[in-house]
Amino acid sequence: MTAKSQRPKGRDGALSSLNGAIQAVNLVKEDSRITQAKTAFDSVCVLLAIIRVGFLLVLIGQPVANAAYRTR
């Protein structure tokens, strides 16, 4: 028998990792009692969400650099 990794591979793995990271940061933010830490966790969540959206745009064939210009 071969042992298989539980971690998804490829594109699904990257999206799954980003989603997991966002959820983990949100959980830590909820448990934090320090206002400055909550603000920092908010910034991290926004940054991870931006990365996730950029990754999704690349997956569907929309270049990230052109995505902002097409909305104007």
Domain annotation covers residue 26: yes
**Could you give the angle at the alpha carbon of 28 between the alpha carbons of 25 and 29, nearest 5°?**
85
Q: What is the C-alpha to C-alpha distance for residues 25 and 32, in angstroms, rounded to an integer?
A: 10
pLDDT at 1: 47
Domain annotation covers residue 57: yes
* Positions in the chain short of pLDDT 50: 1
pLDDT at 15: 86
- As for how many domains the chain has, the answer is 1
DSSP summary character for residue 66: H
The position carrying tokens 């997956």 is: 59
pLDDT at 50: 92
Other CB atoms within 10 Å distance of the CB of residue 12: 9
Give the structural domain span for 20: 11-70
Question: Cβ neighbours of residue 15 under 8 Å, at least 6 residues apart?
Answer: 52, 55, 56
